[in-house]
Amino acid sequence: MVYNSEFVGRALVELGAKVNVPLSELVSFRVGGPAAFVLQPKGEAELCAALGICQAEHLPVVLLGNGTNVLPADEGFRGLILQLSGDGAAPVFQGDRVVAGAGYSLTALAKESVQRGFMGLERLCGIPGTLGGAVAMNAGAYGGEIKSVLRRVRCFRDGAFVWEDARLEQMGYRKSPYAWPSTIVAAVELQLLPDDGTAAATMAECMQKRREKQPLNLPSAGSTFKRPEGHFAGALIEGCGLKGFAMGGAQVSELHAGFIVNRGGATAGDIRALMNHVQAQVMSETGVLLEPEVKGLEALTCIF
């Protein structure tokens, strides 16, 4: 196995990588077997060094933020997980612009920007991902999306990190040209608006709706499926009588049928099986194809 190579193991551990880390500790579904290596790079140079090692050994790589939109496998992952989260690159505000590291929490930045008298992120407060993950997914909620404030992205192009103007025309509903493995987002620059006096109340209202309507007490990855044109995934699933339906430890949330939750002891296989069942049932009863919003780790695996 490539990952057993003495060179790659030693080199990654020297960079600070941890060995045999349960993926269940890295993703919000709290499922998944061990990852051979996990590294939280301390900066761009370290990230490039890690990529170089993986490239030399053809070791598979996956990039994660907070892992709040990802479903791993029970077998684990025989490669390197680069985890860009909890990064110390704190936001720097200058006028109406703010620059922050990709690993910084979207919710923390939303709160901070409202405290500083800005609006633009208040509807996104409560999304549990990183800024990098938000740009990669074009995260959005309650009529807001990261695209509307995104101005520049520091991303990996041809072996180096460069700032580029955001390709907004390529961003859409949960769609972005900045998602791994197309590129790696290291930092973002956002342009906020002066608060018109409603930001704090809007933020509080959105957070309240989340607390009331979402099963925040159980592990999940948020909405399991994208919103199909002209429909709501949750309503379609509920209409098929699947609210509360369970397979093993995975369950269609009793509170919000758009969420699959880990009600305790779920395997990744349980979640996948339930996703397939829900898709098949909704297709056969309504003719609507539910496209997963949650990304399988295997689809994110890249060998350079």
Q: Which residues, 6 or more positions from 290, have their beta carbon under 8 angstroms from its beta carbon?
A: 225, 226, 228, 233, 236, 237, 278, 279, 282, 283
253 binds ligand FAD (CB under 6 A): no
**Active-site annotation holder among 174, 176, 189, 253:** 174
Determine the size of the site formed for ligand FAD (CB under 6 A).
35
Residue number with CB closer to ligand FAD (29 or 118)? 29
Residues 203-232 that bind ligand FAD (CB under 6 A): 214, 216, 220-222
Q: Which of 32, 41, 67, 292 binds ligand FAD (CB under 6 A)?
A: 67
CA distance 205 to 109: 17
79 binds ligand FAD (CB under 6 A): no
By the 8 A CB rule, do 284 and 214 touch?
Answer: no
148 binds ligand FAD (CB under 6 A): no
CA distance 129 to 70: 11
Amino acid making up residue 110:
A
CB of residue 141 vs ligand FAD: minimum separation in angstroms?
3
Pairing mode of beta strands 250-252, 246-247: antiparallel
Pairing mode of beta strands 295-296, 185-191: unpaired
Q: Which residues, 6 or more positions from 201, have their beta carbon under 8 angstroms from its beta carbon?
A: none
Q: Which residues pair with 63 in a beta bridge?
A: 82
Closest CA to 12 of 45, 64, 51, 43: 51
63 binds ligand FAD (CB under 6 A): yes
Residue number with CB closer to ligand FAD (281 or 301)? 301
CB of residue 160 vs ligand FAD: minimum separation in angstroms?
15
84 binds ligand FAD (CB under 6 A): yes
Residue number with CB closer to ligand FAD (9 or 274)? 274
Residues 104-143 that bind ligand FAD (CB under 6 A): 127-130, 132-134, 136-137, 139-141
Convert residues 15-54 into a mask of x (bound to ligand FAD by CB under 6 A) and - (unbound).
Answer: -------------x--------------------------
64 binds ligand FAD (CB under 6 A): yes
In the residue annotation, 174 being an active-site residue is answered as yes
ω into 181 cis (within 30 of 0):
yes
Of 48-56, 63-71, 227-235, 270-278, the segment contacting ligand FAD by CB under 6 A is 63-71
Q: Which residues, 6 or more positions from 303, have their beta carbon under 8 angstroms from its beta carbon?
A: 58, 59, 60, 61
Residue number with CB closer to ligand FAD (178 or 225)? 178
Of 64-72, 187-195, 229-237, 242-250, the segment contacting ligand FAD by CB under 6 A is 64-72
Cβ burial of 96 (10 Å; 0-12, 13-18, 19+) is middle
Residue number with CB closer to ligand FAD (44 or 281)? 44
What is the set of active-site residues? 174, 223, 293
